[in-house]
Amino acid sequence: MSTEPLLAVRGLAVVIGGRHILHGVDLDVAPSGVTALLGRNGAGKTTTVRGVLGLVPRTGSVRFLGEETVRLATHALVRRGVGYAPEDRGIFAALTVAENLRLAERPGAGGPAYGLVHELFPELKARAKQLAGTLSGGQQQMVAIGRTLLNGNRLIIADEPTKGLAPKVVTEVARVLERAAQAVPVLLVEQNLAMVRRLAEHCVVLADGRTAHRGPAADLLADPEATRRLLGVGRRADAVSEENPMAPQDTGTAATSAADSGKAGA
């Protein structure tokens, strides 16, 4: 285990329109593999990601590659090597697929990796001239993920990349993220626990705008009581097929008092 996290967030607080949305989120992204950011609807996952990127006003500390970035503009942080696939996919509907990808090009060693993107998503090559607004949800998600793979990024942040997609497409997204994570660490916001089980090594759970739990993802998922308490019940854990059940027991990584007051409504 390497010591220093790739991304270290401490005491991240976000206030929007006078409303405190994040009260102090702590979060580490390991220097390799997938770190899952979990929590019920409205827990503050998306706001955390947007706060890290500087897309909303934030306070606290955001260290990326050992450098404090909380005062950096979004574009400056991104240029240090962050690929971001937002929750709403962030597609430019009136631009073509090729133009959406071209926007993400950044000057850097080796040039844009179109070979990789087209190998993973052959459809994007075939549909290069199509307006992105006319793509299906799954195809738009491919554009969004493709944009994060175009540059030699040091970190990929994907916010619910499987949300609203058909099971077949979910499997494809999982396959691509799995492959991407072999080369680049991924911070994955995900509600689909089968995805988390398959991809994530580490997890951070938010509740009501605070970090409620941090630890190995397998430990959390192996503890039905903790899973239910932190993430709510009845999550769709069926969309990705999986063979091996996870390790036997956990040691209850002291999930803090995330007494779910039930006000985290969708």
Partner 1 sequence: MSTTVLLAVTGLGLGALYFLVAAGLSLIFGLMDVLNFAHGALLSVGAYATWWAAGGHLPGAGSGGFGFVLAVCFGTAVGTVAAVVLELALIRPLYDRPREQVLATVGVGLAVPALLSAIWGPDARPFPGPAALSGTFGLLGARIPVNRLVLIGAAAVVLVALRLFLGGTRHGLVVRAGVEDRAMVTALGIDVRRAFTLVFAIGGAAAALGGALGGLYYGSVDPGQGTSLLIFAFVVVVIGGTFGAGGSGAATGSVAGAALAAVVVGLVQQFANYYTASGLGDLAVVVLLAVLLLLKPGGVTGRLA
- Binding range to partner 1, per CB under 8 A, among 78-86, 179-187, 203-211, 213-221: 78-86
Residue 53 near partner 1 by CB under 8 A: yes
Nearest to 43 by CA among 228, 211, 197: 211
Residue 252 near partner 1 by CB under 8 A: no
* Closest CB to ligand ADP among residues 17, 66: 17
Which residue from 79, 125, 163, 236 is in contact with partner 1, where contact means CB under 8 A?
Answer: 79
Residue 45 near partner 1 by CB under 8 A: no
Binding string to partner 1 for residues 83 to 102, with x set by CB under 8 A, is what? -x-x---x-xxxx---x--x
Residue 45 near ligand ADP by CB under 6 A: yes
Tokens, residue 107: 């000057």
**Residue 134: how many other CB atoms lie within 10 Å:** 12
For ligand ADP, the binding residues in 88-147 under the rule CB under 6 A are none
Nearest to 29 by CA among 79, 72, 75, 81: 81
Residue 192 near ligand ADP by CB under 6 A: no
Residue 78 binding: pick among Mg ion, partner 1, ligand ADP, none (C-beta 5-8 Å cut-off by kind): partner 1
Residue 36 near ligand ADP by CB under 6 A: no
Helices (H), the chain: 45-53, 74-79, 97-104, 114-120, 122-126, 137-149, 167-183, 193-199, 217-221, 224-231
User: Interior CA angle at 137 toward 73 and 38, to 5°?
Assistant: 60
* Closest CB to partner 1 among residues 87, 250: 87
* Closest CB to ligand ADP among residues 25, 173: 25
Nearest to 124 by CA among 108, 148, 144: 144
What is the amino acid identity at position 10?
R
Nearest to 231 by CA among 198, 190, 195, 199: 190
Residue 44 binding: pick among ligand ADP, Mg ion, partner 1, none (C-beta 5-8 Å cut-off by kind): ligand ADP
* Closest CB to partner 1 among residues 78, 204: 78
Q: Roughly what angle, to the nearest 10 degrees, separates helices 137-149 and 167-183?
A: 0
Q: Is 89 left (phi over 0), alpha (psi -120 to 50) or beta?
A: left
98 three-state secondary structure: helix
Residue 164 near ligand ADP by CB under 6 A: no
Residue 35 near Mg ion by CB under 5 A: no
For Mg ion, the binding residues in 145-204 under the rule CB under 5 A are none
**Residue 15: how many other CB atoms lie within 10 Å:** 14
| Sites of contact with partner 1 (CB under 8 A) | 53, 55, 73-76, 78-79, 84, 86, 90, 92-95, 99, 102-104, 106, 133, 147, 151
| Sites of contact with Mg ion (CB under 5 A) | 45-46, 87
| Sites of contact with ligand ADP (CB under 6 A) | 16-17, 19, 21, 39, 41-47
